[in-house]
Structure 1
Amino acid sequence: MTEALILLSLFVMIAIGLPIAVAILASALVGVYILNGHLGFLNAALSVFDGATSFPLIAIPLFILAGALMNTGGISRRLINFVSALIGFMRGGLAMVNVGVSLFFAEISGSAVADVAAIGSVLIPAMKKKGYSPRMAAAITSSSASLAIIIPPSIPMILYGALSDTSIVQLFVAGIVPGLLGGFGMMALCYYFAVRYDLPREEAFSLTRLWTAAKDAGWALILPVIILGGIFGGFVTATEGAGLAVIAALLIGGFVYREIDIRLFYHALTDGVIQTAVVMLLVASSAVLGLYLTETEMPQRLAASITTLTTDKFLVLMIINVFLLFVGMVLHGAAAIILTVPIFMPLVHQIGIDPVQFGILLTLNIALGQQTPPVASVLVTACSIARTDIWRTTRTNLPFIGVLLVVLLLVTYVPAVSLSLVDFFYK
């Protein structure tokens, strides 16, 4: 009963607008005090320190900073020009370019918010000029931006891996096929809408234009090779790969393209610190919640109660998906991961679900949450750029949300979609 009241108080504090990290910490501290008195605060302090100093989590601020440097260093703009020259000649070219650039950007930043801010500020105004409705432009930009957390590297995967003690590199590998399926599915949907609404092509395909754009974007295209090649090749860890991403983005933007000066570098650092502070405060507060849940054995009891209803793996996954879809609608991604991983991991192990598969399933639910109000952090950003209403845009966005939902169902019920590459390379 006490545990239920603690969790209820947590959601009440979130509902009334208290910062999520503060709500988590406050409710967890009350629970720890009820269990162990004032001595429980000593363990809570140690948990906060241990939770915030995990080595894999260092990758999060580094990837955030790399994304900020890309936005200010001209890398994003050159990627857009290259993809436009490559596939912009197709019907609905700008919509195709939007998804295609997100696939490239996803391999560098790991953040959907960074993706939509970088790409949307350029492509949404251009799409509106070409005759796309503001709702359509925002919907395509928002949904394709969520590919950034499915295709490696991925900040939510890093956070999940650190909390669940799952290989982050294997999570990255597992995200490749689902991410590409989502990207190609969205491209097919863009083509359907382009034909249906007679959306325009861009310039005719030109080898000269493609060659020029490729040369201009050559250094930007090397970034994914440096990051993913180093991680997948076993030369660096995910955290060291994030450091490489920062150094490469700084060198390319500042010394090759010469578009990063001291002022822009300062703004990139400021943005990175602010975003990092939000995530790491959540991580630190979640450590205390994890301590409380561990001492009460609530996750184990939840697992036992579900397994008394059914031990069928697919039914359990369906129950988890429904819960995660709801949580994703009302909480930001990092908070959703932090709250659900300690609760569900005992059940995942008990039922025999591969933790890597569960990590991709969780990440896809977070991606769906980024598109579904009331929180919908990525959709809100796209709508603010397009200057359109979030609820009307959501209706336009439903087919693209459907693509992500189909990928989620494939990952849930066809484990090979996420695990085939992992099995090939690591097992």
Structure 2
Amino acid sequence: MLMAAIFCALLAMICINVPIAVALAMCGVIGLLAVEGTGSLVTIALDMYDGSTKFSLIAIPMFVLAGAIMNAGGITDRLINFVSAIIGFIRGGLAMVNIGVSLFFAEISGSAVADVAAMGSILIPQMKKRGYSKEFSAAVTSSSASLAIIIPPSIPMILYAASANTSVEQLFVAGVVPGLLGAAGLMGVAYAFAKRYDYPVEEAFNLPRVRETFKDALPAFALPVIILGGIFGGFVTATEAAGLAVLAALVVSAWYRNLNLAHLRRAMLDGGIQTAVVMLLVAASVLMGGFLTRAQIPQQLAEAILSVTAQQWAILLILNFFFLIIGFFLHSAAAIILVVPIVIPLISAAGIDPVHFGLVVTLNLAIGQQTPPVASVLITSCSVARANIWAVSKVNIFFVAVLLAVLMLCTYVPTVPMFLVEYFYR
């Protein structure tokens, strides 16, 4: 009864536009007062501080900063030129370039919103200029940007690892294959649209141009090599890789001698705001987590679901549906921080690998970024394209179907995401 009242209060505050972090903190305080009285509030400031200063969370501002430096230093433009030289000859090639560049940029920024802001402002105007509809341009940019939370590094994965007390590095490794599968599927859908609406071919395949753009972009390839090579090889942790990514982005930008300081300053301010929002959510979640732990809500939920079914496939189906619904209304960071601590006891009791489940959660929330009413990534893409969100959603549903297919594959064929984890770590 108490949990239902707290949950209703949380929803009511969110509906009247109370910031989610503030709503979480207020509900956590109310819950603690109801369970243990005023004595439980003595250490809440210290608890919030400790919860938001975990070592793994330092990776978040570092990856955001690396992405900002990469975009301001001209690295993004060189990646676009290289990918365009490789696949620009295919019909609808600029849409393919959009998806391909997202693969590279996702490995630096870890943020889908950052991907849309950086890539969309460059590629969407070019796509519209070449005859692509603004709805299609916004849809392909939005859906491909969600690869930023499937392919490592991923800010939601970092938050999940902190919430579930599991390995960030293993989550990053588990995201590689699903990310590549998602990119291939999105390219297939883009090609089908290009054939149907006769979208243009950018240029004939030219091997000398491929060599030229490859040489120009070669220093930029050091960034994913440093991040993924260091993590896969066990040389650095995810947090250390984030720091190295910032240093490498600065060195590569200096090599190109093309660092736009005004752009960098603006991107750093935006990244600082984004990081502050996430950290405030993390701090507020400590209070809610304390209430849930003392009231034993997670254990009660686990017992209730296990009394209905103990089958892993059925539990995963229930949780998939639950996270898809949550993704409609909450940003990925808020959803992870609010929900994951509640369901982890259920995952443990059902014998589900927490790394596998972390990838399932991340995929669900990637889809949530594409589904109104919240749809943070979709809204950002529509804003850049100046397109109606509902018109874009009619096109985007085909790209979302690809992400759903990858979700189902990874949920029920765990070998797909986990075989690299098994190879490197177990």
**Same structural fold, with TM-score higher than 0.5 when normalized by the shorter chain:** yes
Distance across 1 between alignment mates of 2:374 and 2:402: 20
For 2:405, the equivalent position in structure 1 comes to 406
Residues 105-184 of structure 1 aligned to structure 2 (within 5 Å): 105-184=105-184
- Secondary structure of 2:103's counterpart equals helix
In the alignment, is the contact (CA less than 8 A) between 1:147 and 1:183 conserved in 2? yes
For 1:72, the equivalent position in structure 2 comes to 72
- Secondary structure of 1:35's counterpart equals helix
1:286 is aligned to 2:285: yes
In the alignment, is the contact (CA less than 8 A) between 1:371 and 1:401 conserved in 2? yes
In the alignment, is the contact (CA less than 8 A) between 1:68 and 1:271 conserved in 2? no
The one-letter code sitting in structure 1 at the alignment partner of 2:300 is: R
Question: 1:263 offset after TM fit, Å?
Answer: 3.5
Residues 350-389 of structure 1 aligned to structure 2 (within 5 Å): 350-389=349-388
Question: 1:130 offset after TM fit, Å?
Answer: 1.3
Distance across 2 between alignment mates of 1:288 and 1:133: 47
- Secondary structure of 2:43's counterpart equals helix
- Secondary structure of 1:217's counterpart equals helix
Question: 1:91 offset after TM fit, Å?
Answer: 1.1
The one-letter code sitting in structure 2 at the alignment partner of 1:208 is: P
In the alignment, is the contact (CA less than 8 A) between 2:60 and 2:275 conserved in 1? yes
For 1:327, the equivalent position in structure 2 comes to 326
Distance across 2 between alignment mates of 1:69 and 1:279: 20
After superposition, what is the alpha-carbon deviation per residue over 1:112-134, rounded to whole angstroms, capped at 9, x for unaligned? 11111111111111111111110
Unpaired segments ≥5 residues, structure 1: none
Residues 241-390 of structure 1 aligned to structure 2 (within 5 Å): 241-253=241-253, 255-260=254-259, 262-390=261-389
Question: 1:214 offset after TM fit, Å?
Answer: 1.1
Identity %: 60
After superposition, what is the alpha-carbon deviation per residue over 1:133-156, rounded to whole angstroms, capped at 9, x for unaligned? 100000000000000110111111
Which deviates further from its counterpart, 212-221 or 367-376?
212-221
Which deviates further from its counterpart, 244-253 or 265-274?
265-274
- Secondary structure of 1:108's counterpart equals helix
Distance across 2 between alignment mates of 1:41 and 1:73: 47
In the alignment, is the contact (CA less than 8 A) between 1:47 and 1:291 conserved in 2? no
Distance across 2 between alignment mates of 1:265 and 1:185: 33
- Secondary structure of 2:37's counterpart equals helix
- Secondary structure of 2:108's counterpart equals coil
Residues 166-245 of structure 1 aligned to structure 2 (within 5 Å): 166-245=166-245
Q: Normalising by structure 2, what TM-score?
A: 0.98
After superposition, what is the alpha-carbon deviation per residue over 1:57-98, rounded to whole angstroms, capped at 9, x for unaligned? 000111111111112111111111110011111111001111
Distance across 1 between alignment mates of 2:142 and 2:293: 37
For 2:38, the equivalent position in structure 1 comes to 38
After superposition, what is the alpha-carbon deviation per residue over 1:231-286, rounded to whole angstroms, capped at 9, x for unaligned? 11111110010001111112222x11222254344323212211110100000101
The one-letter code sitting in structure 2 at the alignment partner of 1:411 is: C
For 1:57, the equivalent position in structure 2 comes to 57
In the alignment, is the contact (CA less than 8 A) between 2:72 and 2:261 conserved in 1? no
For 1:95, the equivalent position in structure 2 comes to 95
Unpaired segments ≥5 residues, structure 2: none
Distance across 2 between alignment mates of 1:53 and 1:122: 35
Question: 1:46 offset after TM fit, Å?
Answer: 2.6
- Secondary structure of 1:234's counterpart equals coil
Distance across 2 between alignment mates of 1:88 and 1:264: 28
- Secondary structure of 1:132's counterpart equals coil
The one-letter code sitting in structure 1 at the alignment partner of 2:273 is: I
Distance across 1 between alignment mates of 2:379 and 2:267: 22
The one-letter code sitting in structure 1 at the alignment partner of 2:93 is: G
Distance across 2 between alignment mates of 1:287 and 1:33: 15
The one-letter code sitting in structure 2 at the alignment partner of 1:297 is: Q
For 1:395, the equivalent position in structure 2 comes to 394
- Secondary structure of 1:161's counterpart equals helix
In the alignment, is the contact (CA less than 8 A) between 1:150 and 1:364 conserved in 2? yes
- Secondary structure of 1:116's counterpart equals helix
Distance across 1 between alignment mates of 2:92 and 2:261: 39
Distance across 2 between alignment mates of 1:294 and 1:188: 46
Distance across 1 between alignment mates of 2:132 and 2:260: 35
Shift >6 Å, 4+ stretches: none
Residues 5-20 of structure 1 aligned to structure 2 (within 5 Å): 5-20=5-20
Distance across 2 between alignment mates of 1:282 and 1:365: 20
- Secondary structure of 1:98's counterpart equals helix
Distance across 2 between alignment mates of 1:39 and 1:24: 20
Distance across 1 between alignment mates of 2:407 and 2:399: 13
- Secondary structure of 2:235's counterpart equals coil
Q: Normalising by structure 1, what TM-score?
A: 0.98
In the alignment, is the contact (CA less than 8 A) between 2:63 and 2:109 conserved in 1? yes
After superposition, what is the alpha-carbon deviation per residue over 1:298-321, rounded to whole angstroms, capped at 9, x for unaligned? 011011001111111111111101
In the alignment, is the contact (CA less than 8 A) between 2:222 and 2:248 conserved in 1? no
